[in-house]
Amino acid sequence: MMGEVMSRWSDERDGEGGRERAPPSHTGQQEREEPPDERERERTERERTANRRLESAEDLRAAQRLTRPTVPEQQMMSVLATLGERYHEDYFREHKVTEAGGWYVTHVDFAWLAKRLVVEVYGGPHYKPALDKTGTKQEDDARREATIVRAGWKVLVVRDTELTQAHWLSTVDKVRQFLDRS
């Protein structure tokens, strides 16, 4: 479908300017113009205002989470320390993820900016039905993860059950592989 949209866009004229695709270059390959960012073009001022309000509210919540990490987040910090990862040098907590154009997406638990890697730590509310008041948390998490990936990041999810003493070594290895491989 994306290819169909791309070819359709490149075959159509740009209504106002009458632009067409760039002619073939001297190397025999066609140069392609980038299609306009459809999402950015379609966003209304009302949506932009709502996104700025959401971003502002989430900035406040993230600041609070920075001062009070959950037990699983504290355990993840121990995993990262075991791997020699340094806070504020190698990774950041509660990092704000944005799309092109500065559109706010979300805050993530742990982020490696240079590698564009994210580690999310999920506790009970993310997968225990009794703690999921709306019954949609897993679907919401999947959509959120997909949005982070679309913004250009790789995501690793670590559950609180993986941060127990019984699974500690395998979790350290899992995180090491993710950080080294990416």
> Is 157 within a domain?
yes
> Is 6 within a domain?
no
What CATH code is carried by the domain that includes residue 85? 3.40.960.10
Number of structural domains (the chain) is 1
Res. 14 pLDDT band, cuts 50 70 90: very low
By residue range, what is the domain housing residue 118?
37-181
Burial of 60 (0-12, 13-18, 19+ CB in 10 A): exposed
The region of weakest confidence among 31-35, 74-78, 140-144, 166-170 is 31-35
132-166 pLDDT tens trace? 566 676 788 889 999 999 999 999 999 999 999 99
88-128 pLDDT tens trace? 999 999 999 988 778 888 889 999 999 999 999 998 766 66
Pairing of strands 154-159, 117-122: parallel
